[in-house]
Amino acid sequence: MRPTFNSLCAKLQQKAYKITPQRQIILKAFFDHEQRHLSAEEIHGIVKQNHPEIGLATVYRTLEILANLDILHKIEFGDGRTRYEFAEAEVHHHHHLICINCGKVMEFNDDLLESLETWIAKKTNFLVVDHQLKFYGYCKDCQCRE
């Protein structure tokens, strides 16, 4: 049961953010590219196609808001730019398999880490609220071509 476009707009309104066309367009871009991990620049490229007037700064400002509202989730794959995906996905504990040869990013799901989190809490007094797990290696295709 993933949030709908409208429910996310409502979430914005609740926090006294205005529902501007730009914000709707940017949010829609994530619905249209759900599988991907988009950078600000990429999102700008996407929304500009139909709305050339939208500025890159607005994209950055909108992403910041959406991330603060836990609608989006920031991730970094080490290529120097911050990427964003639906935060809802994070709840399902999906993680990333990053191919160090072709750069492809795949996902895999797992709930094994929850037990690890409680263990950490006991052991170190650290209260875990979120985690990020990334695996680096070679994808199926790149293993053959090596």
Q: Which residues bind a second copy (CB under 8 A)?
A: 74, 76, 78, 97, 99-100, 106, 108, 110, 112, 116-117, 120, 123-140, 143
Q: How far is the CB of 8 from DNA (least distance, A)?
A: 13
Q: Is residue 55 a contact partner of residue 37, using CB atoms and an 8 Å limit?
A: no
Helix (H/G/I), strand (E/B), else coil: 101: coil
Q: Is residue 81 a contact partner of residue 40, using CB atoms and an 8 Å limit?
A: yes
Q: How far is the CB of 61 from DNA (least distance, A)?
A: 5
Nearer to a second copy, 48 or 138 (CB): 138
Q: How many C-beta atoms lie closer than 10 Å to residue 45's C-beta?
A: 14
Residue 116 binds which entry of DNA, a second copy, none, CB below 5-8 Å type-dependent? a second copy
Partners of 86 in beta bridges: 72
